[in-house]
Amino acid sequence: MCGITGIINPKEQNVIKKMADAIRHRGPDDDGYFTDEHVALGMRRLSIIDLARGKQPITSADGRFLIFFNGEIYNYKELRAELGDYEFKTDSDTEVILAGFKKWGEKVLPRLRGMFAFAIYDTRDKKIFLVRDFFGIKPLYYLVEPKESSLSAHGPRGKFANNDDSFSILAFSSEIKSFLVIPEFKPEVNNSAVFNYLSFQYNPLTETFFKNVFKLPPAHYMTIDVKTGRAEMKKYWQFEFKQNNALDERETAEEILKVMRDSVAHHMIADVPVGSFLSGGIDSSIIATLMQKVRGENPPSHKASEGQGKIKTFTVGFESLSEGNEAKETAEPLGTDHREITIGAEEYFKALPKVVWHFDEPVADPSALGLYFLAREAAKHVKVVLSGEGADELFGGYNIYLEPFARRKITWLPRFILRTIASMPFRGRNYAERALSKLEDWYIGNASVFQENEIKKLWQDDIPRFNLGTLYEKVKGLSDSTKMQYIDINTWLVGDILAKADKMTMAHSLELRVPFLDIRVAHFVATLPDRFKWRGSTTKYLLREAFKKILPESVRRRKKLGFPTPIRDWLTRDRVDVYDTILENPYIKSHMDVTYIKKLITDHTFKRTDNSRKIYLLLVLAVWYNVFIENSKLKINTNGHS
């Protein structure tokens, strides 16, 4: 696990060292660099596999190609066997990628089983090959220099389609903060990203909160000609549902157990200690249970884990709201070495500026700070943790996926009755409103903070909202619940779930692995029909059935937990510091209706309505602006310390 970075035609050769130092938290164990007349490339290494010889960059035997790699390839031993004629210098997965690329070119990508973002440099043809993994587990950003008005909120226009000269690639990195040390880069706010953030609670666009900085989308690669900065981007994989209604329930449940056990076993491959997050819900309980079984059958051989027969598990709780008891229901029968931490409101809000710095872009998910503190604790004991991200999206675990089934009970009512119900001021009115609408008209993903009518009151400019129409078109023949899954897999999963998983753990130099997002698991889960995902009021039905004889019954039947945060109760009238941070922020005052925001705060603090998510979203935006644009109020330096 590492952080990679690079700059094309740098005006200062020493800037690459500064770029790598800005992401030192991603790899405190080692660094590596390469420079020639066209590029400067660098990385910070967190040593996980082949600790002694895995130093990067690794160069091909003929000296033509070199690689900088962030991630893990879990089937690297199998691939290495296929590449038997290659003269390997290390036992690392990094060199296996390079050997595979040399033999198969970009066709090596579908063969990889893991999480990855890497750069391969062709020193002869002067081209860089940048890649991001299937689901976007690992981040990768690039900075462009526009030569005319050619950029849209969905990425550079023309360049990839028409191969014109409207802009050139300047740099790339695992985190945006690397670009801040480039003298030519002046951070400016991208209003389109902010506008969409108000609805989604994260930025769903390809362009980031910083003008001219973009994300390489998941399952894409980019080839850059470093002599010109011109680039070509292509998609190499797409998740598709291929539901098989002929599957047998019992046999499929057995296959789920087999596939998940294989995934967990591969995700435990490491030369350092490996632990697990344990929220108390079924997903993390599955991971911890399978880890303990694998550990019992295959004790670790590396010295760092000698005598460690127990898996180390970690849980976070908050004052007045804790999952400790639920997590113990899994940890105690398994006999894991379990640790729980509890976070209070003062510690939570004090950490927010540092957390926002690590995020690069605002993500208004209150649970992210829980993950930040959890990773800090886990990093004291292990170097790698496994976690349950992706299970809800792939297996259908969110409760809202059940709504289309429930709506069938009222959609037979005449529309004038539904409209009457929807106009009444009671808790279920939104449910009735959605029953009157097509899914495509209201479902934008798991998070929907400010509604469109509310944004019209809040935002003072006219900017279009991110259009999900293309995604909906790809699943138009499937059920509404499956459409919801597809939207979340392509937006919410990468923009919120995986973003916080990567940034919050790497903030503490901790590698997080996600066995549910293994490519083999994904291919298998794509075949599950709806009846295997949802049954009555039960989500992830067959996943629960598969572990019927393995998990405690209370755990197996438990509703989704996640890392709940009592942010509603913490945003009291006494939190003047929070409200002043929002109301005095220059960006918010210049782009939003402050009077409307004051009403949101007043209504919440007097308990007229729960506006905690809206207030928290605005708080994170204000802190982000202070940290990255003003950079004076909070005095955050490039090491993330206040």
Encoded amino acid at 213, one letter: V
Which residues, 6+ apart, have CB-to-CB distance to 490 below 8 Å? 239, 471
- Residue 257 scores a pLDDT above 70: yes
pLDDT digits (tens, 9 = 90+) for 355-367: 999 999 999 999 9
Q: Which of 347, 143, 348 is nearest to 231 (CA)?
A: 143
Q: Which helix (H) or strand (E) holds 6?
A: strand 2-8
* Structure confidence by residue, pLDDT tens digits, 558-606: 776 556 789 999 999 999 999 999 999 999 999 999 999 999 999 999 9
* Burial group, residue 155, by CB count within 10 angstroms (0-12, 13-18, 19+): middle
77-92 average pLDDT score: 92
* Residue 203 near residue 37, CB atoms below 8 Å: no
User: Which distant-in-sequence residues (6+ apart) come within 8 Å of 519 by Cβ?
Assistant: 112, 113, 134
Which H or E run includes 512? strand 511-513
Question: For the segment 99-158, what is each residue's pLDDT rounded down to a tens digit?
Answer: 999 999 999 999 999 999 999 999 999 999 999 999 999 999 999 987 654 444 445 443
**Residues with Cβ < 8 Å from 224, sequence gap 6 or more?**
8, 127, 128, 130, 169, 230, 231
CA distances (Å), 120 to each of 67, 112, 469, in order?
4, 15, 34
Amino acid identity for residue 347 in this structure:
E
For residue 280, the model assigns a pLDDT of 76
Whole-angstrom Cα distance, residue 167 to residue 150? 8
Q: Say how far apart CA 445 and CA 92 lie, in whole Å.
A: 38
In this predicted structure, the answer to whether residue 521 has a pLDDT above a threshold of 70 is yes
Q: Could you tell me what percent of the chain has a pLDDT over 70?
A: 87
Res 640: pLDDT = 44
CA distance 606 to 80: 63
What b/e sequence results for 600-622 when a residue is b if at least 16 CB atoms lie within 10 Å of its CB, and e otherwise? bbeebbeeeeebbbbbbbbbbbb
Structure-model confidence comparison of residues 333 and 267, the more confident one: 267
Q: Which of 262-271, 404-413, 581-590 has the lowest mean pLDDT?
A: 404-413
**For residue 413, what pLDDT is reported?**
61
Q: Which residue has the higher pLDDT, 604 or 324?
A: 604
For residue 8, give the amino acid letter: I
Is the predicted pLDDT of residue 166 greater than 60, yes or no? no
Q: Which residues are catalytic?
A: 2
Query: CA–CA distance from 264 to each of 272, 345, 391, 423, 518 (Å)?
Result: 16, 35, 13, 49, 9
Lowest mean pLDDT, pick from 71-85, 281-295, 398-412, 623-637: 623-637
State the pLDDT confidence band at 431, using cuts at 50, 70 and 90: low
Average pLDDT, the chain: 89
Average pLDDT rounded to a whole number, residues 535-556: 92
Which residues contact residue 207 at a Cβ distance below 8 angstroms, ignoring those fewer than 6 apart?
Answer: 151, 152, 153, 154, 155, 190, 192, 193, 213, 214, 215
DSSP code of residue 210: B
What per-residue confidence (pLDDT) applies to 149?
A: 44
The answer to which of 71-75, 406-410, 538-542 has the lowest mean pLDDT is 406-410
